[in-house]
Amino acid sequence: MGLKPVKIGLLGLGTVGSGAVQVLSRNAREICRRAGRGIVISHAAALEPPKLPIDTSAIKITQDGFAVVNDPDVSVVIELIGGYQPALELVLKAIENGKHVVTANKALIARHGNEIFAAAQKHGVTVAFEAAVAGGIPIIKALREGLAANHIEWAAGIINGTGNFILTEMREKGRDFSEVLVEAQALGYAEADPTFDIEGIDAAHKLTILASIAFGIPLHFERCYTEGISHITRDDVAYAEALGYRIKHLGVTRKTQQGIELRVHPTLIPERCLIANVNGVMNAVLVKGDMVGQTLYYGAGAGALPTASAVVADLIDVVRSLTTDPNNRVPHLAFQPDSIKDDPILPIGDIETAYYLRMLAEDVPGVMGRVTTALGRAGISIEAVIQKEPSEGVAQVPIIMLTHRVHEKQMQAAIAEIESMDCIAGSVTRIRLENLE
C-alpha cells in the first residue's frame, strides 16, 4: 500500500457521475484494500456546479472536458457525459494522451467502439465499459472472463430498465404508458432522450456490445434489428397472460450456421421462466454456453449507485493493471484483436421464431377457416387460438393465435394475405415468442 493514490479525471457529474463520486468516497477504504492503492478524483468537468451530499473541495472542477483529458496528473479518465459528441472526441484525446478510460456510454461504444478500441490498442491503454450494459450487473466480466471456456450459443436479456419498468407497471397496475415513463425519468432511469428507451435503441446499443463479446465479432449497431414497446397495448399484455406468457422487451443474439441474430423487440416468454419474473427497473441476462449450459445474471440495470458500482469496479481493474504489459491484458472484446471475425449479421426476415398474432375479424362463419388456410399455405402451424366473445353492439371479434416457429419472411407474407381479407379489420398485431430453451 506504499504507492501514491491514482488520480482520476471525471467527465460528467450527472446521475452516474455523482454516483461514482459517492461510491469512491463512501467505500474508499475497501476500494483501496482491493486496488492496492488509493483512488482519488482530482479533476472533474461539469456544465453545472455539482450538488453532492459529500465534500468535493479537493476536486478541481471545470466546464472544459479537454482540460481534464489533457491534465498530466490524471492517469485514468471516467467518461460519464453520454451521447456521441463531445464524448468521442474527449475519449480519443484521452487515449492519445496515454490515459486509460472507463465509460458507461453504451451509445458511444456500440457506434464507435471499433475505432476506440483500435486507438486504445495502438496507445497501449484500456477502455473499460462494464457500466454500459445492464447497469450494476457484471455481465461484461462474466461473458468476457467467467465464460471464456465456452462457445457462447446465445444470449437473451432484459437490458432496458425503463422499458421493463413501464411493461411491469402496465401489467401489474394497469397504469398508463406515458404516466409511467414520466416517473422513470424522474427516478433517473430514462435516457436524456427517452425515445431511446421506448423505441429499443438503448437496448440495441447494449445488445450490440454483448454480441461482440459473446462471439468475437466487430460492433455492428447499424445492423441490429430494433423494435420498441410503444405499440404494446394493455390488451396484448392481458391476452399473453391468459395464454401463460409475459411480454418482455428482449435483446436476443444467437450464433447460427448462417450468421448472427442481433435483434431487440417485445417478446412473449413463458411465465414459468425465471427471466419472465424480472420486474420493475431490474435487468437480467440469460447466457447459454456450450459447456456450462444456461446461466442467468440479475440486478439493477439503471440508477446512480448501481451503475456507479460497475464504473468503480472497472476503475479498480484498470488501477490493478497499470503496471502490466498492455499485450497481456484481457482483450476489449474478449477475443484477441487479430481473432475478431466479421461473421454476417442475419436480416430479420431470415430469423426463425414463434409468434403471437392478434387480429380483429368479422363475426361471420368461415373467417377462422380463411385465416388458418392462409397460415397453412405459408407453412405455419398453429399452437393455440382464442376467439373472444363479441362486445355488445360490435360486429367484430378479436382472434388471438400462437404459432409454431417459422421464418419471419413467411410470416410477413401470411400477415399481408390476412390483412388483405375483407373479413379482417385493420392490421394484424404480431409479437415474436421465444421459449428460451
**Is the Cβ of residue 308 or residue 380 nearer to ligand HSE in the bound state?**
308
Q: Does 18 bind ligand HSE (CB under 6 A)?
A: no
Q: Is 347 helix (H, G, I), strand (E, B) or coil?
A: coil
CB of 244 to ligand HSE, least distance (A): 27
- Check residue 197 for interaction with ligand HSE (CB under 6 A): yes
* Exposure string for 141-162, b = 16+ CB within 10 A, e = fewer: bbbbebbeebebbbbbbbbbbb
Residue 251: helix, strand or coil by DSSP? strand
Least separation in angstroms between CB 366 and ligand HSE: 46
Q: Which C-beta is closer to ligand HSE: that of 232 or that of 433?
A: 232
Beta bridge partners of 152: 289
**Binding test (CB under 6 A) with ligand HSE, winner from 80, 207, 260, 302:** 302
Q: Does 160 contact ligand HSE by CB under 6 A?
A: yes
Taking Cα atoms as reference points, which of 371, 426, 363 lies closest to residue 403? 371
Q: What amino acid is encoded at 175 in this protein?
A: R
- Backbone dihedral region of 106: left (phi > 0), alpha (psi from -120 to 50 degrees) or beta? alpha
Q: Applying CB under 6 A, does 191 fall inside the site for ligand HSE?
A: yes
Nearest approach in angstroms of CB 355 to ligand HSE is: 26
Which triple of cell numbers denotes residue 257? 450456421
> Which of 17, 113, 135, 299: binder of ligand HSE (CB under 6 A)?
135
204 binds ligand HSE (CB under 6 A): no
Residue 223 bridge partners (DSSP): none
Among residues 206, 248, 255, 288, the one annotated as catalytic is 206
Distance CA 152, CA 142 (A): 12
Q: In the block, which residue shows the cell 459447456?
A: 291
Choose between 202 and 317: whose C-beta lies nearer to ligand HSE. Answer: 202
Residue closer to ligand HSE (CB basis): 189 or 245: 189
Interaction between residue 202 and ligand HSE (CB under 6 A)? yes
Q: Which stretch binds ligand HSE (CB under 6 A): 56-64, 183-191, 332-340, 394-402?
A: 183-191
- Count of residues making up the chain: 437
Those residues with Cβ within 8 angstroms of residue 252's Cβ, 6 or more apart along the chain or in another chain? 154, 155, 156, 207, 261, 263, 264, 267, 434
Per-residue contact flags (x/-) with ligand HSE for residues 235 to 254, judged by CB under 6 A: --------------------
Please spell the DSSP secondary structure of 383-426, one letter per residue.
Answer: EEEEEPPPPTT--EEEEEEEE--EEHHHHHHHHHHHHTSTTEEE
Tell me: does residue 190 bind ligand HSE (CB under 6 A). Answer: yes
Q: Is 137 in the site for ligand HSE (CB under 6 A)?
A: no
d(CA 45, CA 49): 9
Strands 39-45 and 60-62: parallel
- CA separation for the pair 297, 9 (Å, rounded): 31
User: CA-CA distance, 204 to 133, in Å (whole number)?
Assistant: 10
Q: Please report whether residue 208 would count as binding ligand HSE according to CB under 6 A.
A: no
If one asks whether residue 161 binds ligand HSE (CB under 6 A), the answer comes out as yes
For this structure, is 4 an active site residue? no
# of chain residues touching ligand HSE (CB under 6 A): 11
Sketch the per residue contact string, 86 through 125, with ligand HSE: x for CB under 6 A, - otherwise. Answer: ----------------------------------------
User: Does the protein bind ligand HSE through residue 433 (CB under 6 A)?
Assistant: no
Residues that bind ligand HSE in the complex, under the rule CB under 6 A: 135, 160-162, 189-191, 197, 202, 301-302
As annotated, the active-site residues are 206
